[in-house]
Amino acid sequence: MVKSVIIGNDHGGYHAKVEIVKLLKEKGIEVEDIGSQSEEIVRYPNYARRVAGAVARGEYDRGILICSTGIGMSIAASKVRGIRAALVTSTYMARMTREHNDSNVLCLGGKTSGIFEILDYVDTWLKTDYVGGRHDISLNLIREIEKEVGSGIPEPD
C-alpha cells in the first residue's frame, strides 16, 4: 500500500500535476508537491533530482515526475542509484513497470497524454504490486550495474 508520494514537475507538466495531486489526496495518500507552480519555464533536472533523491533515501514510498513528454524526467531520475524510473504512455505499461520492474518513480508526459489517461496510468501504477519471482534476477543485475558503474546523485547542499 502506497502511503506517501513526492511529486515534481516542470512547466510542461504543471496542469497534469494539479490533477494528479487531487487524485492522490482523494486516495488518502500523503503528497509532497515540490514541483513548479506555474507554466513559467524551469529546468526539469532539478525536480527529477529532488524527487528521485527523496525516494532513494526512503523518505517517500514512490515518486511521480511530469514534464512535457516525460522523457527528460525519466533520463534524469534514472541517474540516481536505486531509482527505477519508468516513462509510461499506457495503462498496460503502468501495470507492467510495477509488476516486472518494481518501478519507484513514474514519469509522465503532460503534453503527450490526455488527463483522463494520465490519471488512469497513475491509479494503475499505485495499485499494482511487484510480483517478484523470476523478475528478481533482472533487478539484481540492475543493482550490480549500479554498484559497478553508477555514481548516484547526492542531495545538493
Q: What's the half-sphere exposure (Cβ side, CA atoms, 13 Å) at 116?
A: 0
Q: Is residue 100 annotated as a catalytic residue, yes or no?
A: yes
What are the grid coordinates assigned to 114, written together?
Answer: 490526455
Q: Which of 11, 15, 100, 135 is labelled catalytic?
A: 100
Identify each DSSP E strand in the chain by its residue range. 4-9, 30-33, 62-67, 85-87, 105-109
Of 11, 15, 42, 16, the C-alpha closest to 106 is 16
For residues 152 and 16, give the distance between their C-alpha atoms in angstroms, rounded to a whole number: 28
Q: Is residue 15 annotated as a catalytic residue, yes or no?
A: no
CB 4 within 8 A of CB 29: yes
Q: Which of 15, 67, 107, 135 is labelled catalytic?
A: 67
What are the grid coordinates assigned to 55, written together?
Answer: 525516494
The runs of H, that is alpha helices, within the chain are: 14-26, 44-56, 71-77, 91-99, 115-127, 135-149
Active-site residue numbers?
67, 100
